[in-house]
Structure 1
């Protein structure tokens, strides 16, 4: 979550008149995240999240995202519920930008996930895959192997100010991963951004999953690979195998990976690291002036990628010998 669009109280009050809500008590911007502008809204009787869509989120994709969250919510998955306005619409606008209102989820994210947190993250990821299998809408992953090329072509030697070898490493990895990316793995709807800051816990158990704005159709195992990158590395960006094993075991509690998925898993994890290295590098040199936002450090994923490219088997992610 983040704030790019700054709004005034009277603008918010006029927006909320579109909904059947109680009187506004308080509101504030939420600084975390990099994609959209988000605000915490409190009325006399309830709490909500207002999201204003911008940057990489295309308006044509919004029906997919909103209806997916509605589908999951109606199937008892703990995610934000899109709120219909008094005219039966999910999507409205503020300052000529699309905007939507959501139910508020209790809980908070964890900064340093434990083995238990990783196991739960894996199990809830498989539940997303299972419960979304009956969702009929589809969306292509614009940030999978094909989409990386567009970002790659927008980078140049300027990024070596971040790390002197960054451009050469990204070039090398882009070529290798593109040439070795798998085909025809089990596919479905994936979250594609299941980082710890997108998962809320209460009493050490998951209470909600947020930020479905990268959700799309792609390889299910690629979603797990993203989660490995997000949950299972320590502060020095080395893999903690007991955490990756917990996440994989949690996932396979509900869906077992097949032989080909396991065979291709190392390249999927490597590709996931490259994906976030590319987007974080791009964002770090294309900052929005005046935005209340905290850009994320690309060096984290450069270090992870250097580690991951030395892993050649699925077993190295799941066989905890400690």
Structure 2
């Protein structure tokens, strides 16, 4: 469920009238996603996505996200461009929430990507890094190295409620990351959350890169490490698919080089990424009320990924 803020039809019609995109014909809530309220809207001129930003997204960060999306789209990447209203503003207010209309992109989010799609996805990430090399905006990664350690400390006291061995796994990884994290790796604008459900595809062709709301400035290679964990395992983290991993890296290298330092740091980066998603899922698992609309995701799926990375070394 991802419509937390419901907008009456007459309010939607008045909102769409601010834009030069035609008259509202139909609107439907979109169930996918967990962060914001999303509507698919059809007008007499085309199809668009309306997003209402809920409380988990900081309003002050929205100009950065929208500028980044516009920058990438203007350079020919399959990124939905924010639509400006008749006054030239992309960021709006609707139903007491910040809101934005963006382009609609065709495609679907796959759950079991083929190696060919992994290659295309890696190449899309490389193209994104190349296209945003001159993007002037910056945003700290709240879930970067220090943020992960802080979140780990918050999760530790109750980690045993999820799994008896989870606290020990987190503590061991905290110590490893403190000892091995590389602060000198090349920095860049990164997506930081490029899971298969944040990429659209038709067959093995990437048609869209979406949901930039964790984008930030951090180690460039960390972005590829996030994709490795997201694309190259079964959903429960129990099975690793090496053919997907090889295709993903080959695709990235086809569009953007990987430095020797980045290649050497990749095992640490992959473990850091697995820890990040383990911790955020654990935090939500422990702190989301039972009657909340958000469906909690299993933290142990990334605990298994983390164990795989440790054993692979």
Q: TM-score, normalised by structure 2?
A: 0.94
Give a deviation string over 1:19-47, Cα, whole Å, max 9, x none. Answer: 22322222122222222221111112211
Which residue matches 1:265?
Answer: 266
Unaligned ranges ≥5, structure 1: 313-322
> Is 1:176 aligned with 2:151?
no
- With 26-35 and 193-202 compared, the bigger mean Cα shift is at 26-35
Q: How does 1:128-143 map to 2 (within 5 A)?
A: 128-143=128-143
SS of the residue aligned with 1:27?
strand
Q: How much has 1:152 moved relative to structure 2?
A: 2.4
Which residue matches 1:103?
Answer: 103
Which residue matches 1:319?
Answer: none
- With 146-155 and 298-307 compared, the bigger mean Cα shift is at 146-155
Q: Distance in 2 between matches of 1:64 and 1:33?
A: 20
The ranges of structure 1 where at least 4 consecutive aligned residues each deviate by more than 6 angstroms after the TM superposition are none
- With 24-33 and 150-159 compared, the bigger mean Cα shift is at 150-159
Do 1:21 and 1:43's aligned partners in 2 also have CA atoms closer than 8 Å? yes
Which residue matches 1:3?
Answer: 3
Do 1:122 and 1:247's aligned partners in 2 also have CA atoms closer than 8 Å? yes
- With 280-289 and 247-256 compared, the bigger mean Cα shift is at 280-289
Do 1:118 and 1:246's aligned partners in 2 also have CA atoms closer than 8 Å? yes
Q: Distance in 2 between matches of 1:91 and 1:77?
A: 21
Q: Distance in 2 between matches of 1:104 and 1:293?
A: 24
Give a deviation string over 1:101-147, Cα, whole Å, max 9, x none. Answer: 10100011111011001111110000000000111111111111111
Q: Distance in 1 between matches of 2:48 and 2:291?
A: 25
Unaligned ranges ≥5, structure 2: none
Q: How much has 1:311 moved relative to structure 2?
A: 2.4
Q: How does 1:1-322 map to 2 (within 5 A)?
A: 2-235=2-235, 237-287=238-288, 292-312=293-313
Aligned positions, number: 312
Do 2:36 and 2:51's aligned partners in 1 also have CA atoms closer than 8 Å? yes
Do 1:277 and 1:301's aligned partners in 2 also have CA atoms closer than 8 Å? yes
Do 2:17 and 2:23's aligned partners in 1 also have CA atoms closer than 8 Å? no
Which residue matches 1:317?
Answer: none
Give a deviation string over 1:166-224, Cα, whole Å, max 9, x none. Answer: 22322221232133211211221111111101111124211111011111111111000
Do 1:4 and 1:293's aligned partners in 2 also have CA atoms closer than 8 Å? no
For the aligned residue pairs, the C-alpha RMSD in angstroms reads 1.8
Do 1:34 and 1:295's aligned partners in 2 also have CA atoms closer than 8 Å? no
Give a deviation string over 1:239-280, Cα, whole Å, max 9, x none. Answer: 211111110111111222122111111000000000001111
